[in-house]
Amino acid sequence: MSENKKHFETEAIRTQSENTQFSEHSVPLYLTSGFVFEDSEEMRASFAEEKQRDLYSRYSNPNVNEFVDKVCKMEGAEAGFAFASGMAAVFSTFATLLDAGDHVVSCSSVFGATHGLFTKYFPKWNIECSYFDIDKVETIESLIQPNTKFIYAETPTNPGVDVLDLEFLSAICKKHNLLLVIDNCFATPYLQQPIKFGADLVIHSATKLMDGQGRVLGGVTVGKKELIREIYLFSRLTGPSMSPFNAWVLSKSLETLAIRVERHCENALKLATFLEAHPKVTWVKYPFLKSHPKHDIAKKQMKMGGSIVAFEVEGGIAGGKAFFDSIKMCSLSANLGDTRTIVTHPASTTHAKVEASVKAAAGITDGMVRCSLGLEHIDDIIADIEQALA
């Protein structure tokens, strides 16, 4: 890392594409599919990669480059590639790293679509996946096989808000010569930088807190230069790249990531503390509450506790539904990481068709509510939830 590295907030704002002839203060949108060359020699050298420049927006684009540079600085990564969505990042990373006959060890509580890739599409490419429970990390080593390529995890997890020890996972990977791939979407690079703890690749859905305003889809994978080079080569052929427009929006969004995430976390901690003292709430899970089973690990690897609070209302499925029907201001939605506070009932929606044992392993109970704290005034958020509980 260079001597003159500036603080997170400063890099987020001052990492910008080069000024153009108009000396704009705010980087403009380069809505172009292609780029022109001076002469045949420049064209030849560019395609031969002897000269670094943009050729075609499926490969790279000034707005996309700026977005990737910002995320690399935030995560302490050597290189990155940006995608049209978080799932495009997840899929392209997997497709690059894995060959037929390979094996992956993954935490059982991962994003639903990622789990769908493992169960629906991996088998047809003869790729196997073994899962470990969030509460049984001591079983991870026993799942490793000679053909295992990487360990995959998210922390904090969705929707259970459990925490995995990144240093511990990285030590296992080093011992068995595996890669560690982390989906850092819930924490954002402002709260947690998995590369510091030994991760090789970090994936984000930029759709969530990176945009933070529910406008655009995006994804990014950052990490070791030689791995990103392979992901780039795969992606420039297959075309999952981020659009210049979305990259332009997201580059501006990242300028305010630190200040937004800080407020999201403040609101979340205040709501979690309120809920913990409420008689109709059976339990509350939030990484920065002392009652969280992995509170010490959360404190070690996260700057603040994140924007998601999980809790259980009395009365099982019926109690959960009654709570949702009484909500007035918060949005009933499955999204997260928005300026608007969102409440989700996993048991009757996202996980309605999931087996009971799988739900239990992910920490989902019938009366469980997942709340993604927004940026409204905390008193208004609490007032809405308080009247719905009543």
The residues binding ligand PLP (CB under 6 A) are: 85-87, 90, 111, 113, 154, 158, 183, 185-186, 205, 207-208, 217, 219
- We find the least distance from the C-beta atom of residue 382 to ligand PLP, in angstroms, to be 25
Q: Which is nearer to ligand PLP, 338 or 366 (CB)?
A: 338
- Give the per-residue SS3 of 66-92: HHHHHHHHHHCCCEEEEECCHHHHHHH
- We find the least distance from the C-beta atom of residue 303 to ligand PLP, in angstroms, to be 18
What 3-state class would DSSP assign to 131? strand
Q: Are 259 and 72 in contact (CB under 8 A)?
A: no
The residue sitting closest to ligand PLP, measured at its beta carbon, is 86
Give the number of other Cβ atoms within 10 Å of residue 96's Cβ: 20
Q: Which is nearer to ligand PLP, 105 or 388 (CB)?
A: 105
- We find the least distance from the C-beta atom of residue 301 to ligand PLP, in angstroms, to be 16
Q: Which is nearer to ligand PLP, 244 or 319 (CB)?
A: 244
Contacts of 10 (CB under 8 A, 6+ apart): none
Taking the C-alpha atoms of residue 376 and residue 371, their distance in angstroms, rounded to an integer, is 13
Q: Which is nearer to ligand PLP, 107 or 179 (CB)?
A: 107
Rg (CA), the chain: 22
Q: Which is nearer to ligand PLP, 111 or 323 (CB)?
A: 111
- We find the least distance from the C-beta atom of residue 144 to ligand PLP, in angstroms, to be 24
DSSP label of 34: B
- We find the least distance from the C-beta atom of residue 86 to ligand PLP, in angstroms, to be 2
Q: Which is nearer to ligand PLP, 144 or 202 (CB)?
A: 202
- Give the per-residue SS3 of 155-182: CCCCCCCCCCCHHHHHHHHHHHCCEEEE
- We find the least distance from the C-beta atom of residue 326 to ligand PLP, in angstroms, to be 27
